[in-house]
Amino acid sequence: MTSDAIYNIILIAWLVLSPLIFTSLFFIAAPYGRHIKGGWGPALDSKLGWVIMEACSPIIFALCFVLGKAPLSITSVIFLLMWEAHYIHRAFIYPFSLKSSHDKMPLSIALSGIFFNLMNAWLNGYYVFTLSGGYPDRWLFDPRFIVGAALFIAGFVINRHADYILAELRKPGETGYGIPRGGLYNLISCPNYFGEIMIWTGWALATWSLAGLSFALWTVANLAPRARSHHAWYHDHFPDYPAGRKSLVPGIW
């Protein structure tokens, strides 16, 4: 069996697994952040956990770029920059914007995050830089790339702005939660998740690949149930929580 055939089998299995994870997460909220609870084994500092589980993605994707067999093009470099822009921030900037120094993350969650990020980085990196045969520079003018890149950039901005608002809710050393306000928080409880779903939906369009689609589906599978849990948590903890806000999609859900 060739390496390409093995890749295709793993990709199909990864696609099939995403709806199962989507369903299960409506019943089990991953125990980190506001949903932290005991019974999930040893824990580590949440900032360290974020760095460990996110850092593998930019590293693996960059290795796929360096070792890739497809012809190098401006388009492939742009794909590299898009991926790295998100994950370098997620791994090395975002964790240190969190002002609480006491949050914990179960080691099991960090390990599952490592596996998730390794799989997504390899599936996407191997396809983009080897299996695709290369993206010619004229791909930059294809409507699929243009719309996908626009979605990616818009989602990137929404995600960063939402994270900034959340970070500013706490003063240094504080550990409590408050009601975020401003931006898309006026419409939904989780604009950070909405932005991230836009990012990877845009990626799927821009790369026009099953690997990109698998990442978009996994992003929805992970974040849609968590947005629902966040929305319910806000209502449980804040009697004055704005009644008109939806959980994830403005005006819909």
Residue 249 lies in a domain: no
Percentage of the chain exceeding pLDDT 70: 96
Residue 81: pLDDT above 70? yes
Is residue 101 very low, low, confident or very high in pLDDT (cuts 50, 70, 90)?
Answer: low
- pLDDT category at 102 given cuts 50, 70, 90 is low
- Residue 248 in any domain: the answer is no
pLDDT band with cut points at 50, 70 and 90 for residue 251: very high
pLDDT, tens digit (0-9, with 9 covering 90-100), for 157-198? 999 999 999 989 877 767 778 999 999 999 999 999 999 999
Which DSSP string corresponds to 144-181? HHHHHHHHHHHHHHHHHHHHHHHHHTS-TT--------
Q: Which pTM does this prediction carry?
A: 0.95
At residue 70, the pLDDT reads 97
Domain membership flag for residue 127: yes
Examine residue 247 and state whether it is found in any structural domain, yes or no: no
- Provide the CB-side half-sphere exposure for 183 (13 A, CA): 19
Whether 63 maps to a domain, the answer reads: yes
Q: Tell me if 245 is assigned to some domain.
A: no
- Statement: residue 238 has pLDDT above 90: yes
Helix axes 143-168, 191-207, angle to 10 degrees: 160
| Position 31 confidence tier, pLDDT thresholds 50, 70, 90 | confident
When pLDDT is averaged across residues 226-245 and rounded to a whole number, the result is 96
Q: Which two tokens stand for residue 23?
A: 């369903």
Residue 157 has what pLDDT? 98
Lookup result for tokens 């019974």: 39
The total number of structural domains in the chain stands at: 1
Contact 54, 113 (CB under 8 A): yes
Residue 215 has pLDDT above 70, yes or no: yes
User: Tokens 């966040």 label which residue?
Assistant: 230
pLDDT of residue 209: 98
Range of the domain at 78: 3-237
